Amino acid sequence: MPRPVPAATAALRVLRFLSGQPVPVSAVRIAEALELPRSSAYHLLTAMADEDFVVHYPDDRTWGMGIAAWEVGHGFARQEPLARLARVPLARLVDRVGQSAHLVVLHGTEVLYVIEERAPGRPPLVTDVGVRLPAHLTASGRAILASLPGPQVTALYPDKASFTSRTGSGPRSPTELRRLLATTRQRGYATEDGEVTAGFASVAAPIEAGTIHASVAVTWQSRGDVGDLVEPVRQTAAEITRRLRH
């Protein structure tokens, strides 16, 4: 088992902490949040600023994220085959159905929005790229969970305490989830209406390629039939699956 590298770990935790803040924060705030010695925090932040991962705003006495964090994040998108292969099919989906679409991956019990393709005339979505949401509340997450083996889903959601709610709806127990996922599995797609954001609905289909846990979804302001959207979404997910299998 390799040994710890405490300063490296601290740097990465600083990045993660800062990326969760809406505004730049003070060094002391960072030190407290990560339980770092105050003077060490200054040395660390300065080293990170020297590499452009952090910026110091002396007038405000705050520290914020630097441009290198942004660049490195996009390096991930270029390296990750899923993100690379999915971009064009997703663009085609949007052009075809005229609604915004996204590519989502599962991480633990949450989904992470990897690509968002906005449709013309539609506002940017709450499900902004980089955002995490509880998997069981989103169509995207449900589509992925439905494609997982039962024991794996059980390991992720062992009891009622595993369930969070955003708008008061959505499954609240393993039994409810299992029933919901059985329906999803049978249909081959998942839906969600108002469980993430009131007034918005989604339909999602899983990408089924070995160890990749991801899905394609379309989101729109809910007021009507999902029927027209299911086939394009499923075809897009199938196309991405095919591309991944080469």
Q: Catalog residues that contact DNA under the rule CB under 7 A.
A: 1-8, 26-29, 36-40, 42-43, 46, 56, 58, 61, 63
The pattern of x and - marking residues 125 through 144 that bind its own copies according to CB under 8 A reads: ---xxxxx------------
CA distance 32 to 17: 11
CA 9, 11, 17: angle at the middle one, nearest 5?
100
The entry of its own copies, DNA, none near residue 231 (CB within 5 to 8 angstroms by kind) is none
160 binds, among its own copies, DNA, none (CB under 5 to 8 A by kind): none
Please, which residues have CB within 8 angstroms of residue 220's CB and are 6 or more apart in sequence?
A: 99, 100, 122, 200, 201, 202, 229
Contact map string, positions 5 to 44, toward its own copies, x by CB under 8 A: xxxxxxxxx-xx-xxxxxxx-----------------xxx
Measured from the CB of residue 9, what is the shortest distance to DNA in angstroms? 9
**Could you write out the DSSP letters of every residue in 73-100?**
HHHHHHH-HHHHHHHHHHHHHHHHH-SE
Q: Report how far residue 128's alpha carbon sits from residue 172's, in angstroms, rounded to the nearest whole number.
A: 25
Q: How far apart are CA 132 and CA 123, in angstroms?
A: 19
Residue pointed to by tokens 């008061």: 168
Task: Point out which residues pair with 132 in neighbouring strands.
Answer: 112
Give 29 or 87: the residue with its C-beta nearer to DNA: 29
Binds 27, which of its own copies, DNA, none (CB < 5 to 8 A, cut-off by type)?
DNA
Question: Which residues form the interface with its own copies (CB under 8 A)?
Answer: 2-13, 15-16, 18-24, 42-44, 46-48, 50-51, 53, 64-80, 87-88, 91, 94-95, 105, 107, 112, 114, 117-121, 123-124, 128-132
